[in-house]
Structure 1
């Protein structure tokens, strides 16, 4: 029981630290998502609540949910009551806590059956985090960006612009570099056209082709510059095709002294963990 309580506390503190850094990032003029500037805020809040339960895996009080998601008490209560009414949350009157209900479980079961390979992603991320001690982030390729789909916090929480749902550019990031490692020249050119103005596109493609060739030779991508995220460095590798998806990559990041100085060892650890969890080596490079 003591070990379980310690693990829960670690997850709670990790999520709280990540939420705090994301809030600071938003206050300093961060991305639209970090500022909570969504077209339909209520929809984004529902997703945030369900994500919170997925990460913490325990019943929560309304005040705890409001604190972690930085919502006003009135907004939190209204949202919780609505989710209970539609059956996606259950409310324990005695403990005053909420937990995902039968409808949410049925939806999750259907999705897990449709995409069975995705069930191994969370176990993979936790295994890699436990063996490396660093932050493990899963990304999905979306046109000219990579979107964070999962963050498993290491010993030192990730920077404020790395949170679930955040989007980063393909060009100039380690995760984006891992995506480009498995793209054809035509696909790379298309991503560049979506990213840059017409005049800058050609130069960007030539420059990035050189970087991608370097990544392919050594078998993993890495941060390109130190100043993009100060005192932080990352490596990234493309994962084998999972549930028909070809563009999921894993990023492993932390302070420069911990990651950049041990890139090769961490890349080899990541390759071995990919093989042990998925039974396949990282996706073949073209």
Structure 2
């Protein structure tokens, strides 16, 4: 095996094991100082792990944090982020109750990422892979996560998205976006019917804040007609799951205090 391949693989595990030791978000500078990486090499490595869905990037603090995709490499992720709650079991229970695909989503810079997916057992299902990225301002889960942010922060995000848009892409209608986000806040959930994938409808709720300031959205996706026909039932199960999540995080916080 080529020395370069071994070196690249070693660096990946060095970084993941470093997260497991310190159990906190870290910056590019910290990673480079810890392992003596050149900034360009460290940046390329971390961006690759974000692209693959193993890390998420927080633009505000300029820090990286592991996603649920590597929970087995660092059990503290599930413990510290979710108050000891078995989030995978919660998602499986939600899948069984709704009979639809369940998604746990989080913001990753200007996109939203499906950090974990539990697929439906139905033949016709929302077949999406963990690590999938969706546009932050143009997807249901993205708008759900944006709804938790302050107006000034949302406006700054919109400016950054518009600055990176392709020439043929239209600018975001900020007034319409703000109205949509307010509607999400008022009703406490978000739906997206064929917004990104034709024929697919998703419903989601925002989960309570977790340690390190991370926010997650929990939702269900499937064929539009099927989701629409049982939307209120699905919403009830989503809210029940969010309440279980909230109690676990609060209990863990009380225990730590």
Q: TM-score, normalised by structure 2?
A: 0.60
Q: Displacement, 1:164?
A: 1.0
CA contact (8 A) 1:120 1:278 kept: no
CA contact (8 A) 1:134 1:253 kept: yes
Q: Displacement, 1:194?
A: 2.1
2:179 aligned with 1:210, yes or no? yes
209, 219, 231: which one aligns with 1:263: 231
Counterpart of 2:107 in structure 1 is 141
State the Cα deviation string for residues 102-145 of structure 1 (Å, max 9, x = none).
Answer: xx999534555554536532122111111111110011111211
Worse-matched range after superposition: 269-278 or 137-146: 269-278
Question: Gaps (5+ residues) in structure 1?
Answer: 1-39, 48-103, 282-286
144, 149, 153: which one aligns with 1:178: 144
Q: 1:266 to 1:112 in 2, by over 3 A?
A: closer
90, 102, 108: which one aligns with 1:124: 90
Q: Greater CA radius of gyration, 1 or 2? A: 1
Q: Displacement, 1:207?
A: 1.3
Counterpart of 2:157 in structure 1 is 191
Q: How many residues align?
A: 180
- Classify the secondary structure of the residue corresponding to 1:230: coil
Counterpart of 2:120 in structure 1 is 154
Q: 1:111 to 1:132 in 2, by over 3 A?
A: closer
CA contact (8 A) 2:145 2:215 kept: yes
Counterpart of 1:279 in structure 2 is 247
Q: 1:189 to 1:118 in 2, by over 3 A?
A: farther
- Classify the secondary structure of the residue corresponding to 2:97: helix
Q: 1:244 to 1:123 in 2, by over 3 A?
A: farther
State the Cα deviation string for residues 221-262 of structure 1 (Å, max 9, x = none).
Answer: 110x52631211001111112333432111211011111233
Counterpart of 2:27 in structure 1 is none
The 2-side partners of 1:178 and 1:191 are apart by 14
RMSD: 3.3
CA contact (8 A) 2:102 2:118 kept: yes
Q: Displacement, 1:278?
A: 3.7
Q: Displacement, 1:148?
A: 1.1
The 2-side partners of 1:219 and 1:227 are apart by 19
Q: 1:155 to 1:213 in 2, by over 3 A?
A: same
Counterpart of 1:241 in structure 2 is 209
4+ runs deviating over 6 angstroms: none
CA contact (8 A) 1:135 1:253 kept: yes
Question: Gaps (5+ residues) in structure 2?
Answer: 1-5, 14-69, 250-257
The 2-side partners of 1:112 and 1:177 are apart by 25
Q: 1:112 to 1:186 in 2, by over 3 A?
A: same
The 2-side partners of 1:150 and 1:110 are apart by 16
Q: 1:123 to 1:212 in 2, by over 3 A?
A: same
